Amino acid sequence: MIRILVVEGDKELNATVCKYLCLNGYEAVGCLNAVDAYNEMYGASFDLIISDIMMPKIDGFEFAETVRGLNKDIPILFMTTKDDMRSMQRGYKLGIDDYLVKPVNLEELILKIGAILRRANISANKLLTISSLTMNEDEQSCIYDGEEITLTVREFNFLFKLLSNPKKTFTRSQLMKEFWDIEATSGLHSVDVYMRKLREV
């Protein structure tokens, strides 16, 4: 699944964009500032970055310049209220791939993301193979040592998520929010139950 990092200081807009991306088949991780974004990038890989420009301490220009110094290939899309030509020129000179002026039209955002990914020749990784285990996201199939393992949709997506990010640590709360769409700590036991069941499989 294509993973997108959303760096946007407006908490409500950040959540809205992330939710819309998920509804359109992407995996989205939201950060409210560049420092948090650096930390996310240290622990996991992303296929595209959406970033605001006007952020505290480290603005979008500095953030994009740093990212470009570390990774010249990852696409960057600026999403900002700054609609002046000077800001656009500065962004493109730093190596960003596209520029979207707020207020954001979410349908336009999806179109721009699709175009950027096509230009970068990035497609979703639907097949995951680790040793004797093969998981096909399109078919929702799981094969281990040549035998098909029966999993529910949630079990499959849960396992695919963890195995696709071997270096990243997820909290129970994060997993509950994504796979059960709840934040209450009262349901955290469900994560442990799923982990035990998948180990038994």
In the chain, the domains with their CATH numbers are: 3-121 (3.40.50.2300), 127-200 (1.10.10.10)
Q: Which residue has the higher pLDDT, 180 or 160?
A: 160
- Which run of H or of E encompasses 75? none
Which residue, chain included where needed, has tokens 């040592």?
A: 145
Q: Give CA–CA dist 182/166, Å, rounded.
A: 24
**Confidence label for 135 from pLDDT (cuts 50, 70 and 90):** confident
Q: Give CA–CA dist 92/157, Å, rounded.
A: 37
Residues near 36 by beta carbon (within 8 Å), at least 6 away in sequence: 7
Strands 127-130 and 133-136: antiparallel
Q: Which of 43-57, 68-82, 162-176, 186-200 has the least mean pLDDT?
A: 186-200
**Confidence label for 151 from pLDDT (cuts 50, 70 and 90):** confident
For residue 92, give both structure tokens.
């493109």
Q: Is the pLDDT score of 27 beyond 60?
A: yes
The confidence score (pLDDT) of residue 131 equals 85
In this structure, what are the phi and psi dihedrals at residue 177, rounded to the nearest 5 degrees?
-65, -40
From the number of C-beta atoms within 10 Å of its C-beta (0-12, 13-18, 19+), residue 20 rates as: middle
In contact, 130 and 120? CB cutoff 8 Å: no
The confidence score (pLDDT) of residue 198 equals 64
Average pLDDT, the chain: 86
Residues near 61 by beta carbon (within 8 Å), at least 6 away in sequence: 53, 90, 91, 94
Q: Which of 32-46, 56-70, 131-145, 162-176 has the least mean pLDDT?
A: 162-176
Q: Give CA–CA dist 118/84, Å, rounded.
A: 27
